[in-house]
Structure 1
Amino acid sequence: MESIEIEKGLPHRHPFIMVDRILEVEYMKRSKGYKNVSINEQWAVGHFPDEPLYPGVLMIETMAQVGGFIFYKAGIPPASKFYLGAVKNIKFIHPVKPGDTFMVETELIESLHIYHQIKCTATVGDKLVATGVLTLVNPNQL
């Protein structure tokens, strides 16, 4: 999935789309996508000037955005968007720097009415850089 299709599946718009490509989607099971981390992004100016590192909160947001594509069915976006509702056991294992491809794999581990828990694993090359569990919420069912 490329940028135009990605926009259809997210409530976000530039500059807050944190996904460059969705590679795999298995409806209500898993998704995989990535973000190319660039020195040209605004966060790189101040986080940190001498050694820019992709901020942890943006790693979490990237994982949540990739995870939202679990709800795509045969390339059709879901009728409603999903929002980040909770963050659990997030671990930042290795720094992510400009020039890295931040690859995210997500797996649906539990779905209870409006709450959907996804396990997230992020890598750069063969290095594990972040893991955790996110809860996505369907606001239309609140």
Structure 2
Amino acid sequence: MPPAQFVDLAQFDLDHVEFGAEQIRAVNPHRYEFELLSTIIAYRPEEGFIVGSLQTTPEDFWVRGHIPGNPLMPGVVMVEAAAQLCSFYWRTHFPDVDKFFGFGGIEETSFRNKVLPGDRLILVGKSIQVKTRRAIFGCQGYVNGTMTFDTVIRGLIVG
């Protein structure tokens, strides 16, 4: 049985763009094939959550080789997209910290449904602990209202 939703997605206009691609690029360092956030739908640090999206396409780097004839987004790519969402939250929350905030680990990860080329993956990050040197987020992903994965992501200052 999937865990409870962190936020009720019905309360959001999922087509709303609070931060677009250029604004995300100004915060996150990821580029090219590894830009795994299309939009930030809602950034609510006072409520401890962030909602974003990734619009997948048939041209995405994983489509050709991850199960030819039946392409499925790899779970590690789903988790990386969620990590980028959490990185955006942290970097926006601490804009004066001029150090690289990187992936520290994952825990309690479950993959519950598939993400196909053309699907829009809605990502939710809930802050569990956010400090200047490290952070912990609960993350969930959804396609068409169905939970596709959930995990706990740790981020930390690297270097």
What is the identity, as a one-letter code, of the residue corresponding to 1:117?
I
Residue 134 of structure 1 and its aligned partner are, at CA, apart by 0.3
Residue 112 of structure 1 and its aligned partner are, at CA, apart by 5.3
Overall identity of the aligned pairs, in %: 23
Structure 1 distance, partners of 2:150, 2:71, is 21
Larger deviation, residues 17-26 vs 78-87: 78-87
2:126 alignment partner in structure 1? 107
Structure 2 distance, partners of 1:43, 1:15, is 9
- Asked whether 1:89 is paired with 2:108, we answer yes
Decide whether aligned partners of structure 1 residues 77 and 66 sit closer, same or farther in structure 2, where only a CA change above 3 A counts.
farther
Structure 2 distance, partners of 1:105, 1:77, is 24
SS in structure 2 of the partner of residue 120 of structure 1: strand
- Report if aligned partners of 1:18, 1:65 keep a CA contact under 8 Å in 2: yes
2:5 alignment partner in structure 1? none
2:55 alignment partner in structure 1? 36
Report the TM-score when normalising by structure 2: 0.80
Select 1:20's aligned residue among 23, 32, 38: 38
1:117 alignment partner in structure 2? 136
- Report if aligned partners of 1:8, 1:77 keep a CA contact under 8 Å in 2: no
What is the identity, as a one-letter code, of the residue corresponding to 1:106?
G
String of CA shifts for 1:55-86, please: whole Å, max 9, x gaps.
Answer: 1110010000011122214xx68644421101
Q: Tell me, which stretches of 5 or more residues in structure 2 are unaligned?
A: 1-18
Count of residues in correspondence between the two structures: 139
- Report if aligned partners of 1:94, 1:129 keep a CA contact under 8 Å in 2: yes
1:6 alignment partner in structure 2? 24
Q: CA RMSD in A?
A: 2.0
Structure 1 distance, partners of 2:144, 2:53, is 11
- Report if aligned partners of 1:83, 1:138 keep a CA contact under 8 Å in 2: yes
Decide whether aligned partners of structure 1 residues 102 and 12 sit closer, same or farther in structure 2, where only a CA change above 3 A counts.
same
Structure 1 residue ranges, 4+ long, deviating more than 3 angstroms after superposition: 76-81
Larger deviation, residues 124-133 vs 62-71: 62-71
Structure 1 distance, partners of 2:155, 2:107, is 12
Residue 48 of structure 1 and its aligned partner are, at CA, apart by 1.1
Residue 31 of structure 1 and its aligned partner are, at CA, apart by 1.0
What is the identity, as a one-letter code, of the residue corresponding to 1:86?
G
Decide whether aligned partners of structure 1 residues 86 and 117 sit closer, same or farther in structure 2, where only a CA change above 3 A counts.
same
Decide whether aligned partners of structure 1 residues 30 and 55 sit closer, same or farther in structure 2, where only a CA change above 3 A counts.
same
What is the identity, as a one-letter code, of the residue corresponding to 2:30?
H
- Report if aligned partners of 2:71, 2:116 keep a CA contact under 8 Å in 1: yes
- Report if aligned partners of 2:105, 2:154 keep a CA contact under 8 Å in 1: yes
Select 1:98's aligned residue among 93, 117, 128: 117
